[in-house]
Amino acid sequence: MARKHSRYDPYEDLQREEAEEAPPPPCWLCGRPTGKTLIWHHPVPKSRGGRDVVPMHSICQQTLIANFTNSELQRYGTDVDGLLANPAIRKFVDWVAKKDPDFTAPQAKKQR
């Protein structure tokens, strides 16, 4: 009656892999580390010929999209300081700075 004992636990391997992962890149907009949901955002919208992507939180991307039109985003391009000069973005970044990297919230009010 040989009792087979598995020599390695697949779950243990998964955990190890997770621990060895490189730290997430900082968010382009708010500068906090990105969490589990990393968004590759096009500073210049793809529809406007944008090719570069930057790491972002989904909540930060949603905020940009809610506050700027594609034309404005195209005009700012990769000039994140220009975007941060916007009072609404500045306020958001100051607010989100204290949140968990994985914090997401539906945009309650979409300004139009």
Query: Rule CB under 5 A: which residues touch Zn ion?
Result: 27, 29-30, 57, 60
Residue among 94, 95, 68 at smallest CA distance from 82: 68
Cβ 58 to Zn ion shortest distance, Å: 9
Sign of CA dihedral 45, 47, 48, 49: positive
Of the two residues 13 and 25, which places its CB atom closer to Zn ion in the complex? 25
Cβ 112 to Zn ion shortest distance, Å: 23
Cβ 6 to Zn ion shortest distance, Å: 42
The length of the chain, given as a count of residues: 112
Q: Nearest-CB residue to Zn ion? A: 27
Q: What is the CA radius of gyration of the chain?
A: 20
